Amino acid sequence: MSKIITVDLSEGQIGESEYTFGPGRDYGRGLAMRLLKEHVPDSCGRLDAENAVIYTPGLFTGNMAPSATRGLIMSKGEGKKGLCVSSITGDFPQKLASLDIASIVVTGKYEKRNAVIFVDPNGAELMCMPELEDHTTAEMVDMLRKQFGEDCAIIGTGQAADRMMPLASIFVTYPEGQPRFYCPRSGVGDIPGSKGLRAVVLKAQTYFGSPCVNKEAFRDTGKRLAKIIMDNEICGGALPGLGSITLIHLLKSRQAVPEVEKRSREGAETAEKQGGCRTNYCCAPMCVIGCLNRHSAGTGEVFSAPEESEVRAALTQCFGFEEAAFAKELNRHGFSIGLNTTEFVYTVSMYWKATGETATREKVLSMMEEVEKGSVLGRLIGGGTAGVAELFKDRPDVAALVTKPSVVQEEQFKVHLDKLYPELQDMDDMELLYRQVFVLENLGFCIFSSFALLNNREVLELLAQMASDKFGARVTAQELLSYAGDCIEQETAYQRERLAGSVQKNIPEFIKVLYRYFSE
């Protein structure tokens, strides 16, 4: 029997209820969506105390499933982003699942700020740690791990979230080693920031403690799945061989990815240390891809996150700055305050196009410093492209630069997928793509595994077998796809019922790569 933990920051109360997984029961994004509807009133806004922050691991996360290392954060938003969903990796999702926690639901507001929720096998505790105020994210990770142990998993917020900036992200720790943490581009840090929630800290003895009825069969099927992932040209070659810069090549075309000799896991993951600390070649245990740092084995260079490549691409696109070192420097500065650095670059570019400013590397860094100081200009930039557009309402040329979700590009591509099952013959290819992406998200698979796992009937059958072994009851591939479709419809309906005007599917930004990979 799993459990759902609820924390009311306003009242200082912690509750716990039992939850049973099985066929016909919600899991992954579906469970998070149901909890959001249960705990958040329709009338509340994004930064209202009544909003919830929901942390949910994937169904296979915390088990011996290859690259199933993910979880998600879900909250209520506003406008066309009426639903906020952030996919997270690192050590937090696996330890959350290993504590047999189906979800953590946080509501209310902690007026004293710097609230820390600590969870271990004995239960959850709410505490206040004012000493964390005004520190960088790296400093907070050090302070929290000093108090709770180097093996604790942390998800938290930085200075950008304290100021409730729309570009505020969250930080999530990696397993003990270097790098220590990252900030996902899809982070929604302003919401926990508005609640005075500094961090959630997990203490678990293992990464693979999530209950599974038929563990040996699950593991054996997982080995077959791992081979499929590692044999794939992208997952087994380009991503571990080049790192996430592979995605930038794929944005140009599928043919733009250089051929890379497959790297052996054993050869790349030596006992190499940086500054007395183990190098994290993967973002979490059980990853069989290793796009974080496996490609840099032996070079002494440590990359902080796959998002670093997106920052580099944004700097090249906006300013013509192609230096990887500058992208690394800027990204680390953004991470230090918990900021979405990629969107920061686009926002600065948009602002300077409106004001006629000429870009230099020094000026870009100074703009980051303005955000860190919380100056008027810094708060404007921290508001993202939508905030700049609001300032220049009379400039249609500026408004056209507002960042739009990748899903709006779907009409530009002709995706072609195999129908896999007779009952899918009449389904639109794009809808089938979205359903398969949601299957992976519900189960907790890294989105980078999509290249190997999508559009493959054998994979779907293996996933269904693993779900059957997890539950101890039969699950079919068609049921996984059907549930994924229900999740998409539930999220779309939730937004449609609460918002005026059109709504958009909440599909991961990574879809822009898959559009090209699976296009005719």
Name residues whose C-beta falls within 8 Å of residue 70's C-beta, 6 or more positions apart in sequence: 57, 58, 61, 87, 88, 89, 93, 441, 444, 445, 446, 447
- According to the model, what pLDDT value does residue 304 have? 80
Across the range 306-329, mean pLDDT stands at 88
Across the range 283-292, mean pLDDT stands at 92
Higher pLDDT, residue 273 or 496:
496
Residue-averaged pLDDT of the chain? 91
Across the range 331-341, mean pLDDT stands at 95
Across the range 116-139, mean pLDDT stands at 97
| DSSP H/E element including 385 | helix 384-391
- According to the model, what pLDDT value does residue 435 have? 97
Q: CA–CA separation, 348 vs 344, rounded Å?
A: 6
Q: What percent of the chain has pLDDT over 90?
A: 73
Place 497 in a pLDDT band, splitting at 50, 70 and 90: confident
Cis preceding-peptide flag for 179 (omega within 30 of 0): yes
Could you give all domains of the chain from N- to C-terminal order, each with its CATH number? Answer: 2-202 (3.60.9.10), 307-399 (no CATH), 406-517 (no CATH)
Residue 310, pLDDT above cutoff 70: yes
Task: Give per-residue pLDDT as tens, 143-166.
Answer: 999 999 999 999 999 999 999 999
Residue 265, pLDDT above cutoff 70: no
**pTM strictly above 0.85:** yes
Neighbours of 478 (CB within 10 A): 15
Report which listed range, 17-26, 76-85, 317-326, is most confident. 17-26
Place 266 in a pLDDT band, splitting at 50, 70 and 90: very low
| Backbone conformation region of residue 38, classed left if phi is above 0, alpha if psi is from -120 to 50, else beta | alpha
Which tokens hold the place of 316?
Answer: 């090249």
Lowest-confidence segment of 139-143, 398-402, 466-470 by average pLDDT: 398-402
- According to the model, what pLDDT value does residue 183 have? 93
State how far the alpha carbon of 314 is from the alpha carbons of 31, 99, 240, 243, 309, in Å: 34, 39, 22, 17, 9
Lowest-confidence segment of 369-373, 398-402, 438-442 by average pLDDT: 398-402
| Sign for the pseudo-dihedral over CA of 465, 466, 470, 476 | negative
Which residues in 169-314 belong to E strands, given as ranges? 171-173, 181-182, 197-202, 273-274, 277-278
Q: CA–CA separation, 72 vs 437, rounded Å?
A: 14
Residue 271, pLDDT above cutoff 70: no
- Residue written as token pair 């304290």: 162
Lowest-confidence segment of 41-45, 49-53, 221-225 by average pLDDT: 41-45
Which tokens hold the place of 233?
Answer: 């040209």
State how far the alpha carbon of 262 is from the alpha carbons of 232, 240, 294, 347, in Å: 10, 8, 11, 38
- Gyration radius of the chain over CA positions: 22
Report which listed range, 176-180, 358-362, 512-516, is most confident. 358-362
- According to the model, what pLDDT value does residue 246 have? 85
| Three-class secondary structure assignment of 426-466 | CCCHHHHHHHHHHHHHHHCCCHHHHHHHCCCHHHHHHHHHH
Place 254 in a pLDDT band, splitting at 50, 70 and 90: confident
- According to the model, what pLDDT value does residue 412 have? 84
Lowest-confidence segment of 218-227, 266-275, 454-463 by average pLDDT: 266-275
Which tokens hold the place of 176?
Answer: 């003990």
Q: Which of 286, 289, 294, 237 is nearest to 270 (CA)?
A: 294
Contact 19, 38 (CB under 8 A): no
